[in-house]
Amino acid sequence: MNIVRSHVLVCGGTGCTSSNSPEIIKQFNKELDKRGLSDEVKVIQTGCFGLCALGPIVIVYPEGSFYSMVKPEDVEEIVEEHILKGRIVKRLLYEGDLKEAKVATSLNDTNFYKKQKRIALRNCGVIDPENIDEYIANDGYQALAKVLTQMTPEEVIDTITASGLRGRGGAGFPTGRKWAFAAKEDNPVKYVCCNADEGDPGAFMDRSLLEGDPHSIIEAMAIAGYAIGAHQGYVYVRAEYPIAVKRLQIAIRQAREYGFLGEDIFGTGFNFDLDVRLGAGAFVCGEETALMRSIEGHRGEPRPRPPFPAVKGLFDKPTILNNVETYANVPWIINNGPEAFASIGTEKSKGTKVFALGGKITNTGLVEIPMGTTLREVIEEIGGGVPNGKKFKAAQTGGPSGGCIPESLIDTPMDFESLAAVGSIMGSGGLIVMDEDNCMVDIAKFFLQFTVDESCGKCTPCRIGMRRLLELVDKITSGNGTLEDIELTEQLCYHIKENSLCGLGQTAPNPVLSTLQHFRDEYIAHVVDKRCPAGVCKNLLRYQILAEKCIGCTSCARVCPVGAISGEVKKPHTIDTSKCIKCGACMEKCKFGAIVKN
């Protein structure tokens, strides 16, 4: 193998790819080539580093210099200064909270990474996902070798059970127990499936894992196959993840070439192979029975359980289905022992959890934290707090099935039980931060619109009930609601939860219920005072010109698209609210703060 003196890691995750990282790689190769350095320095496209807000990200080793927001035109300087002359390009360094320390090189010292514990994401941003050798160099396929040569299937299941690993897809079902159910079934044909149909708005951990470390999923699925007695696996991944699909397919091909998939793996006589199935973008296909129907080639719709998939799943055979992140933990647990995993986290929630930080937060991106880390630590320390000096209002976890956690509960530990106790869920790990400018009724409506669109339409409560629920909430946000409507809303929420066929419907009202629980006063303000406290709900907004501040410059009147503002020059203007369409253009234009909305 060629020994190189320096490695340049360029993030090839979806975020950085969108901000032009492929061009950066091209530039690096060009500049290195120009200087005859191609043999000495290796440029690697990695998976996601997590700090997506600051992409594209480039790390230069051996120094470990962490460059952020790199543009293609910066590359020449990095090559010339850093690689050739050994002088770090300080203006591009990610400083974050390290400005004063002036260390600027060690990633792990930054607040963003300091509190993280990367198990599932261990290889993301570290290795080239399209190169199996790099995975192997980082202990890849060692767990599979250990399992196949030194452990019985029962021991594998016992290990997973002892680790306390629970499903990362939402419900948190103990993984070991799920595997044991399927292992118990006496059937020569069984299946191992991977749920990569990540659909929660704002969640992208499964995508990053598949893009950054696809081999860990393949390895884990082969381990699961051995544990339950299956010889075929399917990764169900959404077609909207082209990079993930491509890298997964490359990885499967490489694994077959290396004999990690296929027949007689490691000469042990164990056969296992994997195929990719693409989802066409239905959120409901993340539900296990719907996912299996979809793999079978039918309309993706859930069916009643029992029978559970472990007994009768894909093609009516015993099947296990785990989420991408769940699988990503498996090789680590085998390699490091269940105790090591179980030592992380809380009593009932072991290990780490990846969260996708989004919304009103400084460090948008992916973070992996030990279970039980508080919401405050995640938002204030790792996430860098709410930007623009705004006040934190609530955090939404668990996507459309989850709930909102108010500021008063910011010290809630992030684990399955604690989140459920405050009316939210862990879900797949979406974490959307909201500040004082967010209307909580409007937020609930946003998630409702999503689930109404994504309901499969099979069962009555979800198909009709969710639509009626949205209509009720819409009535409230448009100022036509009554206190009775709030009561009916709540009643309907519980009805849908208790009567829907599948998990989608059973959780779809959660955003409404949790905001009703924590922000009921906002609902009441909408129906009683006909006012939206956050100033979001358009129908309830009133734009008003403060006469004492208005100097009569007329710029608001000129920018108003509907001619709702009138007044003489140098005299206070007024807004005709019957004409006003509440577009906010006047307020934006006014330099004197004379226009307010309430």
* Alpha carbon separation from 364 to 4, 29, 78, 325, 548 (Å, rounded): 33, 29, 25, 19, 41
Choice from 70, 104, 310, 466 touching other proteins (CB under 8 A)? 466
Contact region with other proteins (CB under 8 A), list: 26-34, 86-94, 458-466, 514-522: 458-466
Please give the radius of gyration of the chain, using alpha carbons only, rounded to the nearest integer.
Answer: 27
The strand ranges marked E within 214-359 are 232-238, 262-265, 270-279, 319-323, 352-359
Contact region with other proteins (CB under 8 A), list: 236-244, 324-332, 379-387, 464-472: 464-472
Please identify, using beta-carbon distances, which residue of 35 and 497 lies nearer to other proteins: 497
Contact region with other proteins (CB under 8 A), list: 224-232, 249-257, 412-420, 446-454: 446-454
Give the strand pairing for 319-323 and 191-196. parallel
Kind plus residue range of the DSSP H or E element containing 254: helix 242-257
SS3 594: coil
Please identify, using beta-carbon distances, which residue of 143 and 502 lies nearer to other proteins: 502
Please identify, using beta-carbon distances, which residue of 495 and 582 lies nearer to other proteins: 495
Please identify, using beta-carbon distances, which residue of 58 and 492 lies nearer to other proteins: 492
d(CA 177, CA 520): 39
Choice from 460, 566, 577, 598 touching other proteins (CB under 8 A)? 460
Which amino acid makes up residue 228?
I
- Closest separation between CB of residue 305 and other proteins, Å? 9
By CB under 8 A, residue 287 contacts other proteins: no
SS3 299: coil
- Closest separation between CB of residue 235 and other proteins, Å? 24
Please identify, using beta-carbon distances, which residue of 343 and 449 lies nearer to other proteins: 449
Please identify, using beta-carbon distances, which residue of 286 and 383 lies nearer to other proteins: 286
Phi, psi of 8 (to 5 degrees): -115, 115
By CB under 8 A, residue 452 contacts other proteins: yes
Using CB under 8 A, count the residues that bind other proteins: 31
> Do residues 304 and 459 lie in contact, with contact meaning Cβ atoms separated by under 8 Å?
no
Question: What single string gives the DSSP state of each residue in 139-207?
Answer: TTTHHHHHHHHH--HHHHHHHHHHHT-B-SSSS--BHHHHHHHHHHS--S--EEEEEE---STT--HHH
By CB under 8 A, residue 453 contacts other proteins: yes
Choice from 454, 489, 533, 537 touching other proteins (CB under 8 A)? 454
Choice from 404, 459, 536, 565 touching other proteins (CB under 8 A)? 459
Binding mask 500-539 for other proteins (x = CB under 8 A): xx--------------------------------------
- Closest separation between CB of residue 499 and other proteins, Å? 5
Contact region with other proteins (CB under 8 A), list: 268-276, 405-413, 465-473, 537-545: 465-473
Binding mask 467-496 for other proteins (x = CB under 8 A): xx--x----------------x--xx--x-
Choice from 103, 464, 528, 546 touching other proteins (CB under 8 A)? 464
Please identify, using beta-carbon distances, which residue of 402 and 505 lies nearer to other proteins: 505
- Closest separation between CB of residue 315 and other proteins, Å? 18
- Cβ atoms < 10 Å from Cβ of 304: 9
Kind plus residue range of the DSSP H or E element containing 10: strand 6-11
Give me the residue label for tokens 């946003």.
Answer: 446
Dihedral, CA of residue 551, residue 543, residue 515 and residue 195, to nearest 10: -90
Choice from 122, 293, 393, 458 touching other proteins (CB under 8 A)? 458
Kind plus residue range of the DSSP H or E element containing 7: strand 6-11
Choice from 133, 154, 155, 498 touching other proteins (CB under 8 A)? 498
- Closest separation between CB of residue 295 and other proteins, Å? 18
**Which residue intervals of 35-165 are DSSP H helices?**
75-77, 85, 111-114, 132-137, 142-150, 153-163
Kind plus residue range of the DSSP H or E element containing 294: helix 288-296
Give me the residue label for tokens 């009147």.
Answer: 557
Residues in 225-284 that interact with other proteins by CB under 8 A: 282, 284
Please identify, using beta-carbon distances, which residue of 26 and 495 lies nearer to other proteins: 495
- Closest separation between CB of residue 468 and other proteins, Å? 4
Please identify, using beta-carbon distances, which residue of 139 and 471 lies nearer to other proteins: 471
Please identify, using beta-carbon distances, which residue of 211 and 485 lies nearer to other proteins: 485
d(CA 255, CA 544): 66
SS3 224: helix
Choose among 514, 516, 580: nearest CA to 542: 580
> Do residues 425 and 202 lie in contact, with contact meaning Cβ atoms separated by under 8 Å?
no
Question: What single string gives the DSSP state of each residue in 493-538?
Answer: HHHHHHH-SSHHHHHTTHHHHHHHHH-HHHHHIIIII---TTS--G
Please identify, using beta-carbon distances, which residue of 313 and 465 lies nearer to other proteins: 465
Contact region with other proteins (CB under 8 A), list: 309-317, 423-431, 452-460, 578-586: 452-460
d(CA 431, CA 403): 10
d(CA 81, CA 156): 51
> Do residues 550 and 596 lie in contact, with contact meaning Cβ atoms separated by under 8 Å?
no
Please identify, using beta-carbon distances, which residue of 114 and 298 lies nearer to other proteins: 298
Choice from 153, 365, 465, 481 touching other proteins (CB under 8 A)? 465
Binding mask 288-307 for other proteins (x = CB under 8 A): -----------x---xx-x-
Q: Which residues bind other proteins (CB under 8 A)?
A: 282, 284, 299, 303-304, 306, 452-461, 463-468, 471, 488, 491-492, 495, 498-501
